[in-house]
Structure 1
Amino acid sequence: MNDFILIAVTDPVVGPEATHAAAATGLDVITCDDPRDIARHVPRARAVITDRTTASHVAACGRARDIFFVAADPGPIDFEAALRAHAAQAFLLPAESRDLLAALSTAGELLAPASVSGRCVAVVGATGGAGTSTFAAGLARTLEATVLIDGDPRAGGLDLVLGAEETPGVRWPELHLGPGQLDAADLLAALPVTADGIRLVSGTRSGVNDPFELSDETLTAVLESLQSHRVVLDGGAGPAAFFGAGWYDHVDHIVIVVPAEVRAAAAAAQITARCAAHGIPVSVVLRHRGWSSLATSDVEKIIHADIVAELPHLRRLARDMELGGLPLELPRPLRQACERVIEDLGWVEEPWDERGVA
C-alpha cells in the first residue's frame, strides 16, 4: 500500500482544510479532481478524502475502505453521497479537522477485528468449473477488510484470480508455522494485500516437483488465528474434496455454488446433506454456465435447500480475468449475487448514525 493520502475535493473552503489534516499525518498528499486522475490514484492511496462532487467518481473505482467524506461547516452533510462513495466516516470542516486527522492517522492499519466479532465462510463448488474461486474472490471483494484463503494451493493460486500475482507477500509454501499459537498480526503483516484491502493466503506456482502439501493442521491453525476477523475460504470443488476437508469446525457458514445441471445438483445434494449433519448453515448460489437443464425449483427439490442467488453466464468476465484478474468494480450480476449471500449470512453492515460513523 502506498504512503500517500488522496484529496479528491473541489470545495474551495474544505479542500485546504482537508489537505492540512492529511499533511499533519506525515504522509505525502496528492490532490486532484479530474475523474481520470481519481481513477488512477484511488486504488493505490493509503486513504481517500472525497466530497459531494467527487463521490461518484470515487465510488466508480470500487474501493471499499479508508474513504472519508467531508463537507463545509456548518453542513448539512450529504449522507447519500457519502454512502455512495463507501465512506467510513463523514466530517464537517474546519470544525471537525481534529477528528479527521485522528481517522487518517489510523487508516491503512492491519485489519481490525470485524464488527460481527469474526466470521468465516467457506465457498465450495458442487463440481469443477462452477466458478467457486471467482465467487469466493467476489465475496471477499464485496465484504470490507477481509482475509481470502486459498484452500487448494495446487489450483494455480488465488492471487491470479485477483490479479495480485506480482504483489509481494508470503504464499502457502513460504508460510512456516512454528510451535504454539500463530499470531494474527504477524500473519496479516506478511500476506499480500490487494488495492482494496483484501489480504491473501494464496497458493503459488512452480515448474518443478514441489513437495509442499497443505495439511489440515496448517489450514486450521491459520483459521484459528484469524477467528476475530472476516475470512472467506475457497474450499475447492466437488463432494470428494469437501468430504476430505478438516475445516468443518472452523467455519460459520458454507456457500455452495451449483451449476443448474443434473450431475451438479446431484453432487450438491451430498454436500447439503453433510452440512445438515454437521449443523452448518448453507447458502446456495445457482450458476448458469451457457445452458441450464434445470429450473430453480428443480434444483431446490434435489438439494433440499433454497437458492438465495442466481448468477448468469458472464461472457466478458473470463477474458477480463485472464488479462488482469477480477475487476475492482465487479460485474453487476456478480456483485448482486454476493450481496444477497452476505444478507443471507447476516453480515450486513451496521447502519450509519446521524454523524455518519458506521
Structure 2
Amino acid sequence: MLTGDVDLLDSVLAAAAAAGVEPTVSAEPAAVRPQWMTAAIVVVGLDRARQLAELVLPHRTEVYVVGPQDDDELWRWSAPLGAAVLGLPQAAGVLTAAIADATGRPSGGGRTVSVVGASGGVGASSLAAGLAVVAAGQGLPAMLVDLDPMSGGLDLLVGAEGVPGWRWPRLVAAQGHLGDLSGHLPRLAGLDLLSAAREDVVVIPTVDAVRAVLQSAARTHRLTVVDLPRALDPGGREVLRRADLALVVVAADVRGIAAAQQFVPALREAAIDVELVVRRPRSGGVEARLVADALELPLAGVLREDAALRQGAERGDPPGRASRGPLAKLSRRLLERIDVESRAA
C-alpha cells in the first residue's frame, strides 16, 4: 500500500483486514520499486499516483488506484499505471475481494488441494483424479486441473480425451478476473477438467493464468484438485502458495524416501500445509509410519497397489470410480479431513 493520506490508509487497512491480510505500507513511491513485480497486489493512493507513474515501472497486473469516490482526478491514473480504479469507501468490498484473490485468501468457498509425486510412477496423477472424481460423485462441484505439461493430458487418464471443451492453450495467457469456467471445460460425470493438450509445442501457463484459474475455481467449485509436476515452475509454486493442502506421494522404499528427502524441502518452502501419502506395494515395503518419520511429515494416508486401477486406466475408466477400491476409500477419507462441505457452507 502506497499512500500518505491517513484517512485513505485507514480505509485500505480495513479492507485488507477483512481479507485476512496485513499489507506493507509506505508513503515513499521509491520504496515500491523493489517489490513492484513480486508483490501479490499493489494499492496506490490517489495522493501518490503521479509520483509512482513518474517512476515508469514495468507493466504488471493487480494494481489498484484508490481515492475518494467523488474525486474526478481518480480516473486520470488508470491508464498511466495500468490500474483499476476504486472509489472508497463505496468500493471497499470490491477491494477486499481483490486483495483476497491476489493473495490467495479464500474469497470464494472452495478448497484447493495440490498433489505431486516425489518420484515418478507413484500414482500422484491417479490420486489427484481420484479425489476429484469421488468429490464429484458425492455431488460436490469439483474441478481437476492438470499443471504437468509433460503428462500427456489428464483427459486421457479420466477417459475424457474425446470430450469437447477448453484445454490449457485456450487459457494459457489469461489474467485478472475469469468468469465461471463451467460449461467451457470438458465435463465428465459431474467433474470439470482443465487438461494439458497434446500438441507439438509444450504449453506452460503463466503465473497470471494459473492464478486466474484458481481464483475462478474457488468461487464456483467446492473442490479444486491440481496435479503438479515434480519440477516446480512459477505456476506450480503459485498453486502451492494458494493450496489449503499439498499432498506429496512417496514410494515406500529406500529410493522413494531418498527422492522425497531431496524434494520435500522445496514443498515446505512454498506450501502452507504439506502432508504425506505413502504408496505401498501389495506386499513388503517400508511401513508408512516409518516413511512419515523419515520425512518428518504428517501421514495423510496410504495408497496401496491396485491392479484393478491399472486395468481400468487401460479402458479409460476414471480413477476412483470403483467405490470399493483402495483409491476411492482413501479419497473419501481425505475428503472428510479436508472438510469440503464445511468450508463451502
TM-score (norm 1): 0.58
1:226 CA displacement: 2.0
Task: Check 1:297–1:211 CA distance in 2 against 1; reply closer, same or farther (3 A cut).
Answer: closer
CA RMSD of aligned residues (A): 2.8
Instruction: Give the match for residue 219 of structure 1.
Output: 210
Tell me how far apart the structure 2 counterparts of residues 304 and 127 of structure 1 sit (CA, whole Å): 18
**Aligned counterpart in structure 2 of residue 159 of structure 1, from 141, 155, 166:** 155
Tell me how far apart the structure 2 counterparts of residues 215 and 295 of structure 1 sit (CA, whole Å): 39
Instruction: Give the match for residue 210 of structure 1.
Output: 201
Is the counterpart of residue 174 in structure 1 residue 170 in structure 2? Answer: yes
**Aligned counterpart in structure 1 of residue 334 of structure 2, from 323, 327, 341:** 341
Tell me how far apart the structure 2 counterparts of residues 150 and 245 of structure 1 sit (CA, whole Å): 11
Tell me how far apart the structure 2 counterparts of residues 123 and 326 of structure 1 sit (CA, whole Å): 17
The DSSP-based 3-state class of the residue aligned with 2:250 is strand
Task: Check 1:273–1:343 CA distance in 2 against 1; reply closer, same or farther (3 A cut).
Answer: farther
Letter in 2 for 1:335: A
Task: Check 1:180–1:296 CA distance in 2 against 1; reply closer, same or farther (3 A cut).
Answer: closer
Q: Are the aligned partners of 1:272 and 1:304 in contact in 2 as well (CA < 8 Å)?
A: no
**Structure having the larger proportion of residues in helix:** 2
Instruction: Give the match for residue 282 of structure 1.
Output: 274
Aligned length: 231
Q: Are the aligned partners of 1:235 and 1:242 in contact in 2 as well (CA < 8 Å)?
A: no
Alignment of 1:254-333 (within 5 A): 254-278=246-270, 280-289=272-281, 292-326=284-318, 328-333=321-326
1:164 CA displacement: 0.8
Q: Which runs of 5+ in 1 are unaligned?
A: 1-113, 351-357
Q: Which moved more, 1:273-282 or 1:332-341?
A: 273-282
Instruction: Give the match for residue 14 of structure 1.
Output: none
Q: Are the aligned partners of 2:247 and 2:274 in contact in 1 as well (CA < 8 Å)?
A: yes
Tell me how far apart the structure 2 counterparts of residues 271 and 243 of structure 1 sit (CA, whole Å): 16
Alignment of 1:76-115 (within 5 A): none
Q: Are the aligned partners of 1:130 and 1:259 in contact in 2 as well (CA < 8 Å)?
A: yes
Is the counterpart of residue 133 in structure 1 residue 129 in structure 2? Answer: no
1:243 CA displacement: 8.5
Q: Are the aligned partners of 2:210 and 2:235 in contact in 1 as well (CA < 8 Å)?
A: no
1:279 CA displacement: 5.8
Q: Are the aligned partners of 2:243 and 2:271 in contact in 1 as well (CA < 8 Å)?
A: no
Letter in 2 for 1:159: D
The DSSP-based 3-state class of the residue aligned with 2:276 is strand
1:271 CA displacement: 4.3
Q: What do the CA deviations read for 1:144-193 (whole angstroms, capped 9, x no partner)?
A: 2101000113311111111111111111123364564222x2x2221011
Tell me how far apart the structure 2 counterparts of residues 278 and 263 of structure 1 sit (CA, whole Å): 24
Q: Are the aligned partners of 2:128 and 2:226 in contact in 1 as well (CA < 8 Å)?
A: yes
1:278 CA displacement: 4.5
Tell me how far apart the structure 2 counterparts of residues 124 and 292 of structure 1 sit (CA, whole Å): 23
Q: Are the aligned partners of 2:132 and 2:143 in contact in 1 as well (CA < 8 Å)?
A: yes
1:285 CA displacement: 1.2
Q: What do the CA deviations read for 1:76-108 (whole angstroms, capped 9, x no partner)?
A: xxxxxxxxxxxxxxxxxxxxxxxxxxxxxxxxx
Tell me how far apart the structure 2 counterparts of residues 211 and 262 of structure 1 sit (CA, whole Å): 33
1:135 CA displacement: 0.5
Letter in 1 for 2:116: V
The DSSP-based 3-state class of the residue aligned with 1:246 is helix
Tell me how far apart the structure 1 counterparts of residues 227 and 315 of structure 2 sit (CA, whole Å): 22
Instruction: Give the match for residue 79 of structure 2.
Output: none
Q: Are the aligned partners of 1:272 and 1:305 in contact in 2 as well (CA < 8 Å)?
A: no
1:245 CA displacement: 2.8
Tell me how far apart the structure 2 counterparts of residues 227 and 177 of structure 1 sit (CA, whole Å): 19
Task: Check 1:205–1:289 CA distance in 2 against 1; reply closer, same or farther (3 A cut).
Answer: farther
Letter in 2 for 1:233: V
**Aligned counterpart in structure 1 of residue 185 of structure 2, from 176, 185, 191:** 191
Q: Which runs of 5+ in 2 are unaligned?
A: 1-105
The DSSP-based 3-state class of the residue aligned with 2:210 is helix
Is the counterpart of residue 150 in structure 1 residue 131 in structure 2? Answer: no
Q: Are the aligned partners of 1:160 and 1:325 in contact in 2 as well (CA < 8 Å)?
A: no
